[in-house]
Structure 1
Amino acid sequence: MMAIRIYGDAGSGSLRRVTTAAKIMGIELERMAVDLFKGESRTDEFKARLNPHGLTPVLVDDGTVLYEASAINLYLADKVNSPLAGRTAEERFQVLQWMFWSGEQWRSFTTTLFDERVGKAVMGLAKDEALVGFAEGKLRAAATVLDRHLDGRTFMVGQALTLADIDVAAPFSQVDRAKFPFKDYPNLFAWHDNLLRSFPAWAETKAEVDHRMDSFLASVGVTL
């Protein structure tokens, strides 16, 4: 049987979501490096074979080709019947609720801030301050909801780690580089601090992202 392959860049917070979940579930992935900074995901061949959007991560498992990190993690959890997808029917729907919420109300705005504060710095372009203000306002509104939800909680859903935690934690991959205001929300910050302390896989992938990003920024002479 062919190994499950995952295509992505080590500096990607989205790849980090998949590699962390796979480690916790005991699933071995064959890593296929895609250099996003060199545009390797935007070639005609990549788009035709793996993802027409030219984005990573992408999973290939025999005849299955799947993109979007959340979908990949649900696919992997289904393969091994992992409790990361929720331990009961009710938990599973709560996990899905927060995963969908994270994509629409949370990570979309952190991605915008990353693009403005990091991406444009790399390209030597000026930030769009109106867009930065809009995205940060949306992000603060979402963080306020999260901070209330996490009051007295260790995890997003139930009493154990789920894919909801991994999805919501994803922006912490770039928190210092993109200057997300998460320290203003003590329950949110404490929750993530606990994830780093309690789950070695999350700390290991943080180190991988940091090394890749910091090395790249130094190579192009960008100080954030």
Structure 2
Amino acid sequence: MAIKIYGDPGSGSRRRVTAAAAAMGSDIEIVDIDLFKGESHTPAFLALNPHGLSPVMVDGDFVLYESAAINLYLAEKAGSDLAGRTAREKYEILQWMFWSGEQWRIFATLTFDEVIGKKFIGQPTDGTIVKLAADKIRTAATVLDAHLAKHDYIVGDRLTLADFDIAGPFSQNERTKIPLNEFPNLVAWQQRLLATVPGWAATKREVDDRIDGALEAAGITL
């Protein structure tokens, strides 16, 4: 029985899971959840994730949320080296995944909520929050750009789960205008992923079609 992944096709977090699953050859079944219609806050979905966020993984009677945790689970189940070939490499990957959650993706998500999310509910963007998030992103990106000046990938000069985790903010940066394009090594790494990881390129098209379509349907111009 395939592992089910519930989430909205416009979600950068779902993208991280589905793209990584494709790279690992994991047998998954994608179940679309329409966030714009409130489907992540139905009683049935909240029973899977009380936070009302996606993605959520269901493998038999085991339910797991948070993309990073899902990817680690899928890697172990598939016997994939994307989670690390050695103990040292594994901990380097975890270091960057934790870094991504605490110092990186959170500010990209905050920007999306302010710049795009609020438009769907008719609320004004708070420029102070957007600037704070941009400053935090620049601080983190400076470290990451210096790291990528010496490495083609985040860990070990090969694709790992750390790449998928840290690449998440690129899902919306052209719409939210977070300052990723200011960092040439970061941009080159992202282009490398799009050119060499078919699932990352395919899910970019999926996210773009979903979000751009939703914006057009709502009559929102960024």
Normalising by the smaller structure, the TM-score range is: over 0.9
Q: C-alpha root-mean-square deviation of aligned residues, in Å?
A: 0.8
Match of 2:42 in 1: 43
SS at match of 1:41: helix
Q: Give the 5 Å matches for 1:2-151.
A: 2-48=1-47, 50-151=48-149
> Partners of 1:148 and 1:171 in 2: how far apart?
18
Structure 1 residue 178 corresponds to structure 2 residue 176: yes
198-207 or 114-123, which deviates more? 114-123
Q: Which amino acid aligns with 1:14?
A: S
Q: Which amino acid aligns with 1:5?
A: K
Offset of residue 45 of structure 1: 2.5
> Among 203, 211, 214, which residue is 2:212 paired with?
214
Offset of residue 42 of structure 1: 0.9
Offset of residue 125 of structure 1: 1.6
> Partners of 1:135 and 1:21 in 2: how far apart?
27
Q: Which amino acid aligns with 2:137?
A: L
SS at match of 1:216: helix
Unaligned runs of 5+ in 2: none
> Partners of 2:110 and 2:147 in 1: how far apart?
24
Number of positions where the alignment pairs a residue of Structure 1 with one of Structure 2: 222
- Normalising by structure 1, we get a TM-score of 0.97
> Partners of 2:170 and 2:142 in 1: how far apart?
16
> Among 189, 192, 205, which residue is 2:190 paired with?
192
Offset of residue 43 of structure 1: 1.6
> Partners of 1:160 and 1:29 in 2: how far apart?
24
CA offsets 1:131-170 (integer angstroms, 9 cap, x no match): 1111111111011111111112100000210000000000
- Normalising by structure 2, we get a TM-score of 0.98
Unaligned runs of 5+ in 1: none
> Partners of 1:111 and 1:65 in 2: how far apart?
24
CA offsets 1:39-84 (integer angstroms, 9 cap, x no match): 1011222112x10111110000011100000000000000011111
SS at match of 1:22: helix
SS at match of 1:221: coil
- Percent sequence identity over matched residues? 59
Q: Which amino acid aligns with 1:208?
A: E
> Partners of 2:23 and 2:4 in 1: how far apart?
17
> Partners of 2:27 and 2:212 in 1: how far apart?
27
SS at match of 2:170: helix
SS at match of 2:158: coil
SS at match of 1:37: helix
Offset of residue 87 of structure 1: 1.4
Q: Which amino acid aligns with 2:212?
A: D
Offset of residue 129 of structure 1: 1.3
Offset of residue 120 of structure 1: 1.4
